[in-house]
Structure 1
Amino acid sequence: MSSPNEHSPTIEAVILAGGMARRMGGEDKGLVELNNQPMISHTINRLAPQVQRIMINANRNQQRYSEFGYQVMSDIDSGYLGPLAGMITAMGHTQAELLLVVPCDCPLLPHDLASRMLATMQQTGAELVVASDGKREQPVVLLLKPSLRDSMKAFLDAGERKIDFWYAKHHYEVTSFADQPNAFINVNTPEQKQQLADQIAQ
């Protein structure tokens, strides 16, 4: 249980939309239409009530992304270095105590994502918390302290890319969302997109 004097820290979020999406034929995944809305719109709708502010990390189509009404930022390091580069950029743009990281192609994110991950962090004293669907960790669904930026940047600058190798260097905990096993279904192929569209429409 939280202690009575434990305040609710400010939480901002970054939606990672910076990838190449090779398996989607190079389409910008956040802008792919899903049930008549860009994919990122579904993600924003899930996330907006849970955080103080949303940022979008995008390395192309920045003008389109800015139309959603949120700050858009591209990676400080150019060259499509993966999700770590987007997280490092966002950590440099937030004044919040905590940063929630999610990908742009998870339209079924839990409505209680932030609160449950925060509870795990407060109960364990972890530096970062990783979400799990009950079977596997979701390495780009994270709640972390922006003070970890220097550590993450050093890891990326050393040529490393695998985010789970990075968080294993820190005190991390896992929040299970096994009660919502479809929460982190994402879209990498046109077939998966159709399956998800059918599911949302039900």
Structure 2
Amino acid sequence: MAMAVTPSISLQQITGLVLAGGRGARMGHVDKGLQLFRGKPLAAHVIERLAGQTGTLAINANRHQSDYAAFNLPVWPDLLPDFPGPLAGLHSGLTHCATDYLAAAPCDSPLLPMDLVAKLAAALSLQQADAAIAVTGRAGQTDLQRHPVFCLLRKTLLPSLTGFLQEDGRKMERWFAGIHTVEVHFDDETAFCNINTLQELRQLESE
């Protein structure tokens, strides 16, 4: 039976967070979210797709913060030094957000689903979980591809994530494995393609 995508959590309870805090190492250390895709920065595409899915939006960025501030959204840098990874972005988001839930997506995925948050919210509520992450692949198979940067988290997870990071935890899947996480299947794998190199950016733009 197909899962209904009607959100069981109101939009006003959800803060959306665009994760743009990385070093961009595989893209020559440029700021990925500011690279142009179809005439607009990658982050702009993600913002547009998330805007109608959450009550409010913010950006996690550690570099070029004035450029990200030009999107007229709050910019929340990591609260931990040395670019420790996307979990640090989630930590900053959970710390700053004034809502009960935080929905996150990376700045380098301009095709993310328009029903991403609704499906995550429906599954999280149904399973009474603390977190929901997106997965793709053949439904029912064991080799599903997990996409933990596309997630919905309860605000109450902040102490758990803080403790994990203080113990030098960095791997997203390890943290999610230690909390009540529900995996939510999406059919369109291309919606979750993330751009790591300039070559991948040009290739996607030409499709």
TM-score, normalised with respect to structure 1: 0.93
Q: Which amino acid aligns with 1:82?
A: G
CA distance in structure 2 between the aligned counterparts of 1:34 and 1:155, rounded to whole angstroms: 35
What percent identity do the matched residue pairs reach? 37
Q: Which amino acid aligns with 1:79?
A: D
CA shift at 1:146, angstroms? 1.1
Where does residue 63 of structure 2 map in the other structure? 60
Where does residue 195 of structure 1 map in the other structure? 203
Where does residue 185 of structure 1 map in the other structure? 193
Q: Does 1:125 find its partner at 2:128?
A: yes
Q: Which amino acid aligns with 1:87?
A: L
Matched residue SS, 1:182: helix
Where does residue 90 of structure 1 map in the other structure? 93
Gaps of 5+ in 1: none
Gaps of 5+ in 2: 138-143
CA distance in structure 1 between the aligned counterparts of 2:24 and 2:148, rounded to whole angstroms: 17
Which of the numbers 127, 141, 153 marks the counterpart of 2:150? 141
| Deviating more after overlay: 180-189 vs 6-15 | 6-15
Runs of 4+, deviation exceeding 3 Å: none
Q: Does 1:172 find its partner at 2:181?
A: yes
Contact 1:97/1:145 (<8 A) preserved:
yes
Contact 2:9/2:125 (<8 A) preserved:
no
Q: 1:51 to 1:7 in 2, by over 3 A?
A: closer
Matched residue SS, 1:159: coil
CA distance in structure 2 between the aligned counterparts of 1:105 and 1:183, rounded to whole angstroms: 11
Which of the numbers 68, 71, 75 marks the counterpart of 2:74? 71
5 Å-filtered alignment, 1:14-25, equals 14-25=17-28
| Deviating more after overlay: 106-115 vs 190-199 | 190-199
Where does residue 36 of structure 1 map in the other structure? 39
Q: Which amino acid aligns with 1:65?
A: Y
Which of the numbers 8, 11, 15 marks the counterpart of 2:10? 8
CA shift at 1:133, angstroms? 2.1
CA distance in structure 2 between the aligned counterparts of 1:79 and 1:190, rounded to whole angstroms: 24
Contact 1:57/1:86 (<8 A) preserved:
yes
Where does residue 29 of structure 2 map in the other structure? 26
Contact 2:135/2:145 (<8 A) preserved:
yes
Q: Which amino acid aligns with 2:147?
A: Q
Matched residue SS, 1:72: coil
Q: Which amino acid aligns with 1:43?
A: V
CA distance in structure 2 between the aligned counterparts of 1:130 and 1:26, rounded to whole angstroms: 27
CA distance in structure 2 between the aligned counterparts of 1:126 and 1:7, rounded to whole angstroms: 13
Contact 2:43/2:110 (<8 A) preserved:
yes
CA shift at 1:7, angstroms? 5.8
Q: Which amino acid aligns with 2:22?
A: G
Matched residue SS, 1:78: coil
C-alpha offsets along residues 128-185 of structure 1, whole Å, 9 cap, x if unaligned? 001012230101111010110111111111011001100111111111112x221110
